[in-house]
């Protein structure tokens, strides 16, 4: 069947069961948008305010649903505006396909209007990039892009399509989606048995769960092993929700801003079982002093991670779900009462002020009014760490945040993608007044799409995390961090057709959340807190993770 290239692209997207595209049209991708007109009843297009917002939305959609997110952008600045979103997805192993328009092939290399070598630009931040030279390449490149994005360790793939290929005729023959290569049972069963013996013999083991647990849908297997062998579980930022935070064995986040009990458990352990984690510098601190008395088992699908950041005693290159399923029958039922009681001595009881707005009362109140069954999307900074520390994440794919790249401005676009992908779920966007300013234009998308997203902004009049570092490590020389108080959040929200308010006390926050819950409208709630509220604990840079500065040290 002969079709224009633009329609071949759309038919291939239907093959991949794509139901949503996030994007922004422009000159070189216009033929593809013209073809999209005929597919409106089958594929929803979400017009964002900016291409960066579209990329973040596709990412948030992917992380919250487990599907491949799809983003369209035109050439030149349209394509380069997606770069931060592509890099964010790459660092956090989020599956995404970005299709960009390009100037016609006969104009390439001539500094044509809006010409950029986007394949070259994105080469280090994609799993693969395709430049289509003929209309015959369109279908195989798109099919391969989806397979690559979702296979193994997921990530973004870019397809750059010159405009002339979108209007040329080519042969199209329908095809089933290519099989995703992810599940790979461990090849060395003797190694599995040896690792099981180490787990059974350990007196002070810790499971260190990374984002790979969520990607592999292995939360159930992780929970079964932890319960069978009474092993405490620590999680990375990317793994929040992989293990129920209300479970007695959950120690919460590990690392620079991790819970004291998580960091101390690692420091005193005799066995670390790392599952789908990459030993980020934000987790390990000084690697020479990280878990020095422990053997390390590293399970990951990406062999490049073995030994890259941290030594190991055993490694399994495997889909983590398959590895845990292979281990589970060999794990002995064990009670580690003494080890878990010792960990309990490192836990600190939380005290809350009933009316004052501070990080504890804000998150307690949101949880009280909205419950546990919500998706949280954050930007980056103090509010992100407070969210990870204080929110009781109970299920996978409910925490959407930029971990590896630390992208301020990520949260609102990601919340939009998560809400579009999960229309029956409550989505809450947590931001700081610094991050929020970066992409607040996406409030227009929230409004135009009638999305009931609640944006809660921790308003402390400063770039909070930068100021905290300046306070602790730069002799309180506050350079370019304090923010002028120029935004009236109620008026800002109203200008976008949304509800909004500024609250200073807990009762005001309760009323605002209850109203937002009842109205079903997009809402912006700014919560004013003290400028010097700090994220605690914090491990100073270059220190071992057991050497934390605690709350009382930061006053």
Instruction: Please say whether the dihedral angle defined by the alpha carbons of residues 472, 476, 477 and 483, taken in this order, is positive or negative.
Output: positive
Collapse the DSSP code of 321 into the 3-class scheme (helix H, G, I; strand E, B; otherwise coil) and give the result: helix
Distance CA 465, CA 383 (A): 9
Q: Chain-centre distance of CA 60, in angstroms?
A: 7
Distance CA 453, CA 500 (A): 12
Collapse the DSSP code of 206 into the 3-class scheme (helix H, G, I; strand E, B; otherwise coil) and give the result: strand
Name which of 262, 208, 284 is nearest 389 in CA terms. Answer: 262
For residue 227, give Cα distances in angstroms to 169, 209, 231, 233, 235: 59, 14, 7, 10, 16
Distance CA 170, CA 352 (A): 66
| Residues taking part in catalysis | 51, 113-114, 163, 465
In the sheet with 44-47, reading across from the earlier edge strand, the strands are 44-47, 20-23, 69-73, 96-102, 156-162, 128-131
- Bridge partner list, 400: 377
Distance CA 406, CA 546 (A): 23
For residue 15, give Cα distances in angstroms to 145, 170, 176, 211, 554: 13, 17, 6, 28, 55
Instruction: Please say whether the dihedral angle defined by the alpha carbons of residues 480, 482, 485 and 490, taken in this order, is positive or negative.
Output: positive
Alpha-helical regions (H) of 300-336: 320-327
């Amino acid at each position: 069947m002969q079709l224009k290239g633009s329609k071949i692209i759309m038919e291939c997207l239907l093959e991949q069961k794509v139901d949503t595209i996030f994007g922004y049209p422009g000159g070189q991708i216009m033929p593809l948008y013209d073809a999209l007109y005929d597919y409106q009843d089958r594929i929803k297009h979400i017009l964002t305010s900016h291409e960066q917002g579209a990329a973040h939305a596709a990412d948030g959609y992917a992380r919250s649903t487990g599907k491949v997110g799809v983003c369209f952008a035109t050439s030149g600045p349209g394509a380069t505006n997606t770069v931060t979103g592509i890099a964010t997805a790459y660092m956090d192993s989020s599956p995404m396909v970005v299709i960009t328009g390009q100037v016609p092939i006969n104009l390439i290399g001539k500094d044509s209007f809006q010409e950029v070598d986007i394949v070259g630009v994105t080469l280090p931040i994609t799993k693969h990039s395709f430049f289509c030279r003929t209309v015959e390449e369109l279908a195989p490149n798109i099919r391969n892009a989806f397979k690559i994005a979702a296979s193994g360790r997921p990530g973004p793939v870019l397809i750059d399509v010159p405009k002339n290929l979108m209007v040329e005729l080519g042969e199209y023959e329908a095809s089933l989606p290519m099989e995703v290569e992810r599940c790979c049972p461990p090849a060395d069963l003797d190694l599995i048995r040896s690792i099981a013996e180490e787990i059974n013999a350990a007196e002070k083991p810790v499971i260190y769960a990374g984002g790979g647990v969520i990607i592999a849908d292995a939360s159930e297997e992780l929970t079964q092993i932890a319960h069978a062998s009474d092993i405490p579980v620590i999680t990375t930022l990317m793994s929040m929700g992989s293990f129920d935070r209300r479970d007695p064995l959950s120690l919460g986040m590990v690392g620079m801003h991790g819970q004291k009990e998580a960091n101390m458990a690692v420091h005193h352990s005799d066995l670390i079982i790392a599952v789908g984690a990459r030993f980020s510098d934000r987790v390990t601190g000084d690697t020479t002093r990280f878990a020095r008395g422990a053997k390390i088992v590293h399970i990951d699908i990406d062999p490049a991670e073995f030994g890259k950041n941290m030594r190991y005693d055993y490694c399994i290159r495997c889909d983590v779900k398959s590895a845990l399923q292979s281990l589970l029958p060999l794990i002995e039922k064990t009670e580690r009462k003494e080890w878990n009681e010792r960990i309990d001595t490192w836990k600190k009881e939380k005290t809350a002020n009933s009316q004052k707005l501070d990080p504890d009362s804000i998150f307690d109140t949101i949880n009280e009014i909205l419950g546990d069954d919500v998706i949280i999307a954050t930007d980056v900074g103090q509010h992100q760490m407070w969210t990870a520390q204080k929110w009781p994440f109970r299920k996978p794919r409910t925490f959407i945040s930029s971990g590896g790249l630390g992208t301020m401005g990520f949260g609102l676009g990601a919340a939009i993608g998560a809400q579009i992908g999960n229309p029956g779920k409550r989505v809450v966007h947590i931001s700081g007044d610094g991050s929020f300013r970066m992409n607040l234009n996406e409030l227009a998308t929230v409004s135009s799409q009638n999305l009931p997203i609640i944006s809660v902004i921790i308003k402390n009049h400063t770039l909070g995390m930068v100021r905290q570092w300046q306070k602790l490590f730069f002799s309180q020389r506050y350079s370019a961090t304090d923010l002028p108080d120029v935004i009236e959040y109620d008026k800002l929200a109203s200008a976008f057709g949304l509800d909004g308010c500024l609250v200073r006390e807990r009762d005001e926050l309760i009323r605002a959340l209850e109203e937002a819950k009842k109205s079903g409208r997009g809402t912006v709630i700014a919560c004013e807190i003290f400028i010097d509220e700090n994220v605690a604990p914090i491990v100073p840079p270059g220190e071992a993770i057991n050497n934390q500065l605690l709350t009382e040290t930061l006053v």
